[in-house]
Structure 1
Amino acid sequence: MAPQSTDVRPRSTPPAEQFAARLLDILGPLPMGAAGLRGQAARGESRMLIDGELVESSSGVRFRNVNPATEEVVGEVADGTAEELDRAIAAARRAQDESSWARDGAFRRHCMEQFVDAMARNLDELRLAMVTELGCPVRLATGVQVDPVVDKVRFMAGLADGWQEATELPEVSAGPMRTLRQIQRTPIGVVGAITPWNIPLDIALAKVTGALAAGNTLVLKPAPDTPWTTALIGRLFAEETDIPAGVLNVVHSSDHALGARLTADPRVDAISFTGSTATGRKVMAAAAEGLKRVHLELGGKSPSVVLDDANLEQVVPLAAALGCFNAGQSCILPSRLLVPVGRLNECLELAAFGMSSVPVGDPFDENVFMGPLVSVAHRDRVLAALASGLAEGGRVVVGGGVHPDFDRGYYVQPTLVADAPEHGSLIQEETFGPIVVVQAYEDLDDAVRVANGTPFGLAGYVWSEDEDRARDVAGRIRAGMIGINGGQFTGGDMPFGGVGASGLGREWGVAGLDEFLEIKTIAAARFS
């Protein structure tokens, strides 16, 4: 797996430092004051929110929170048990059935807007938790992971009181009877939300705000790898809003079996899950026993299609390097780079330059684009998946192992792979690390075929000098979201989700509200 030399910069490409600056510019400028996070010790939040109270585990047990950049234990967090989960579900059920939360849209909006204001006041604490426990670079925290989420939540809060008015349909008559018809939307009930560690604030709040705005109550079971970020959600709601007890509950635990218990509990009416496709299938099967509504946001193997008319020197290094966003730990990343076969060698050289120029290092350094992977276990899984895939064919062009520049932390080299077999695991399976695989295509139809050549359908990317041509290709790619020439497809008002093995349903936007509503038809007879 020895990488080829990339010491010589390809002709027409900028210096590595200039390219690195371009990558960082994508994340946006560091807000005033955020640079001061370096050297601060994250305090975090160790308690769970259950039935309106911030509590420890009944077992008295806590689990460790580890900084993946330093391998140091930075704190401990209450380790929820089946007892805490049962209390949380009971509280959510009671709040749904007995409080006015489902009916009072103005009050829901009030509470959610209080939470938005609380987020804005506590941005530094949220940023610090994100950088410390995920290893997320500070520019990524401010530009993507934390700060933009405030506006997304504000958008969802604005939907909380706007959907309850019934839709009137034309009345129908039959003899002396007239029927007045209307369509109402009602909350589903109690929602169980199971969230991952890689985008912990955004994904959790997509579910929380969609469910709450729709008048539901919620039990959130986040991943244990990034507990502080989601525990802060619970604390801010508890201490800085008027939300009634039981409407929102947050149970963090090192016991992954609690997610299965939440899914199977008959008091829970719907499950919203984000995670791997394999686990999503299990969630869907378990929810089927109770015929629960299921929303799944699952894996991806997103194609980045560089058309033959694109400016390769500008596009290919960037398209490759974007696979290192969040250390490759995101389901929407462009992990497959599709390039014209006639220019394959040139594109490999350009992609290698891009990957080699990604600034990797201390997450608190504002000039770093990529930090460590979240844990030693995940680092080992990524490298094992790479080794297994290479055994099927393919070769490493750049990277391929533990990053040699760091004597501590779970760092992996940005890795570029060529010549992988089309039906091999490096093409067909999500590796969830900074690994980009280059695939060649013959012509436009073949590019679409290759792009659609996996079971996933979450996101896609198209690069071209001709936007109409790019839109045509985008329309033929099976995916829930497409970015053309770097266009951003995420936002509070933009539905997020995929098709095929990438899941069911949407988050954020009006569609993200509708996921948590039922349709009720009412017909009232009148006789003349």
Structure 2
Amino acid sequence: MSTQEVAGTVTRRLLVDGLLRETGQTLASLDPATGEVYGYAPEAGVADVDEAVAAARRAFDDTNWATNPRFRRRCLNQLYRALRDNVEDLRALTIAEVGATRALTQGNQLESPFEIVRFYADLLGDFEWTEDLGNVEIRGQQHHRWVEKEAAGVVAAIAAYNYPHQLALAKLAPALAAGCTVVLKGAPDTPLSTLSLGEIIANHTEIPAGVVNVLASSDIEVGKRMTTHPDVDVVTFTGSTPVGREIMAAASATLKKVFLELGGKSAMILLDDADYTTAATFAAFSVVTHAGQGCALTTRLLVPAQAHDQVAELVAANFAHVHHGDPNDPKTYMGPLISEKQRDKVHAMVQRAVAAGATLVTGGQKLDPGFFYAPTLLANVDPDSEIAQEEVFGPVLALISYTDDDDAVRIANNSIYGLSGAVFSADAERAKAVARRVRTGTFSINGGNYFHPDAPFGGYKQSGIGREMGTDGLEEFLERKTLAEVVA
């Protein structure tokens, strides 16, 4: 992976139609642990989008990429090996630009997403592209019918900043496996991480020119152009629910296929027979993972009313053991928020929650240097209040009391979101019964981990449309054509 040095900072290049290139403008990337400039990315404009889409269109329409699964599998395996070969460069970049801890880069921030690429390469080995429906008699003749699965076309893929490699590869790998061509744009807060994937593809794989194009931009018009371009067939977006609504509305003008992975306000339910000590530890260390910047994190903790104060003490004690600081230090558990803007948003929500009647048990402070925020527990939270309803995207846990299992389920479902959730109970069947009543796309029972390349991930309600990963993730990038012929 090529790395240029400009005044001691790291730079990357756009990938458009097989060429790595600069533009006339640059986009600064900050190290959120220090607040200082880490590097620069070329700033793409609307003209770059048009050129990238045109390249993707040509690669889809004029080459055999969409019809050659054996070649696609070879290219995906090349990409997987190249990612592995460049893992240490990518790790250093991810720690510095994303603020991810070293431990997280060994999991979902970096190395685990590589396995998504391998999963789809392996899936191509035995995926059934045709489904036989058999014969049917119509007006005295036999008609044979079957369904063929075809690549959906040109994909506009837009990823968020919190897990840039995970989010990019969860879109890119299945889209390529399906035979689509892609224009990928990373978040303006983490442009170098996404552009690094483009450089690896250009330098270490046989993926043809135009099949993958990678852009970086802070210009809102760039995203708008990607989601409304008449030559784009599919839009996939990960980010906030308000932006997802705008994208869905914009794409409706050309009836594009849209799938969205959006926000969450997931609830963890501690049933009255749960081991509170174990569950409180799980809840505390989960919500501060990557400083709370995870859409599926359980940010509401629902506890029996009689256990409210006990659990509050347990969570606060766990928060006291959360080591924050230099993300490159192996001892660091929690890194920074991505920006001062995001930290200000988190702090303002905590202050409004206290003003509205919540009890600040611990935390609620900005920590310097960089964009750190103290692990924060708010108790006696009204389930209808802003802090219980709106996504914070910071290390903030809202503690809410309930009366019985039915009340817990009601509160958990009292949300526009439906991404994830969790339950703890000494009775596995009781826990499963609660899990099945909560309307979310994923759910953890007694600490079970659902997140893996072979498991579909996505949400109900306003947490999104469609699924990433698993066979379902491939199907999102396919169209189905039903064919029939008269047989003797």
TM-score under structure 1 normalisation?
Answer: 0.89
2:437 equivalent to 1:476: yes
Aligned to 1:258: 222
Distance 2:348 2:289 in 1: 20
The secondary structure found in structure 1 opposite 2:189 is coil
Distance 1:127 1:115 in 2: 17
- Which of 285, 290, 305 pairs up with 2:269? 305
Aligned to 1:10: none
> Is the 1:355–1:414 contact (alpha carbons within 8 Å) kept by the matching residues of 2?
yes
Change (3 A) 1:98 1:414: same
2:412 equivalent to 1:451: yes
Partner amino acid, structure 2, of 1:51? D
2:34 equivalent to 1:70: yes
Q: Give per-residue Cα distances to partners, 1:460-498, cap 9 Å, x unaligned.
A: 011112211111111111110001121111111010101
Distance 2:311 2:129 in 1: 55
Distance 1:101 1:144 in 2: 29
2:463 equivalent to 1:502: yes
Deviant stretches of 4+, over 4 Å? 41-45
- Which of 133, 147, 150 pairs up with 1:183? 147
Q: Give per-residue Cα distances to partners, 1:359-392, cap 9 Å, x unaligned.
A: 1111011011101111111111111222233332
The secondary structure found in structure 2 opposite 1:231 is helix
Distance 1:263 1:343 in 2: 48
The secondary structure found in structure 1 opposite 2:399 is strand
2:157 equivalent to 1:193: yes
Aligned to 2:396: 435
> Is the 1:192–1:218 contact (alpha carbons within 8 Å) kept by the matching residues of 2?
yes
- Which of 336, 342, 350 pairs up with 1:378? 342
Aligned to 1:202: 166
- The Cα of 1:316 is off from its aligned counterpart by 1.1
Partner amino acid, structure 2, of 1:49? L
Q: Give per-residue Cα distances to partners, 1:438-470, cap 9 Å, x unaligned.
A: 011111111111111111100001111221111
Partner amino acid, structure 1, of 2:371? Y
- Which of 41, 46, 50 pairs up with 2:16? 50
The secondary structure found in structure 2 opposite 1:342 is helix
- The Cα of 1:86 is off from its aligned counterpart by 0.8
Aligned to 2:306: 342
Distance 1:468 1:42 in 2: 58
Distance 2:113 2:285 in 1: 24
2:211 equivalent to 1:247: yes
Matches within 5 A, 1:12-51: 44-51=10-17
Partner amino acid, structure 2, of 1:505? G
Unaligned runs of 5+ in 1: 1-40
Aligned to 2:381: 420
Distance 1:174 1:292 in 2: 34
The secondary structure found in structure 1 opposite 2:467 is coil
Aligned to 2:133: 169
2:480 equivalent to 1:519: yes
The secondary structure found in structure 2 opposite 1:472 is helix
Aligned to 1:314: 278
Aligned to 1:220: 184
Q: Give per-residue Cα distances to partners, 1:331-357, cap 9 Å, x unaligned.
A: 011100111111111111111112222
> Is the 2:285–2:319 contact (alpha carbons within 8 Å) kept by the matching residues of 1?
yes
- The Cα of 1:42 is off from its aligned counterpart by 9.6
> Is the 2:185–2:194 contact (alpha carbons within 8 Å) kept by the matching residues of 1?
no
Q: Give per-residue Cα distances to partners, 1:80-130, cap 9 Å, x unaligned.
A: 111111110000011111110000000000001000000110111111111
- The Cα of 1:302 is off from its aligned counterpart by 0.6
> Is the 1:195–1:204 contact (alpha carbons within 8 Å) kept by the matching residues of 2?
yes
2:409 equivalent to 1:409: no
- The Cα of 1:176 is off from its aligned counterpart by 4.8
- The Cα of 1:147 is off from its aligned counterpart by 1.2
Aligned to 2:251: 287
Distance 2:466 2:201 in 1: 26
Change (3 A) 1:81 1:523: same
The secondary structure found in structure 2 opposite 1:145 is coil
Distance 2:208 2:293 in 1: 35
> Is the 1:324–1:414 contact (alpha carbons within 8 Å) kept by the matching residues of 2?
yes
The secondary structure found in structure 1 opposite 2:254 is coil
TM-score under structure 2 normalisation?
Answer: 0.96
Change (3 A) 1:342 1:122: same
2:422 equivalent to 1:461: yes
Distance 1:425 1:101 in 2: 48
Distance 2:22 2:128 in 1: 37
Distance 2:429 2:161 in 1: 37
Distance 1:195 1:390 in 2: 33
The secondary structure found in structure 1 opposite 2:182 is strand
Distance 1:126 1:463 in 2: 36
Distance 2:193 2:295 in 1: 19
Distance 1:432 1:147 in 2: 23
Distance 2:242 2:192 in 1: 26
Partner amino acid, structure 2, of 1:340? P
- The Cα of 1:236 is off from its aligned counterpart by 0.8
Distance 2:61 2:198 in 1: 21
Distance 2:477 2:129 in 1: 16
Aligned to 1:38: none
Distance 2:39 2:256 in 1: 37
Partner amino acid, structure 2, of 1:324? V
> Is the 1:123–1:147 contact (alpha carbons within 8 Å) kept by the matching residues of 2?
yes
2:93 equivalent to 1:129: yes
Partner amino acid, structure 2, of 1:147? E
Partner amino acid, structure 2, of 1:514? E
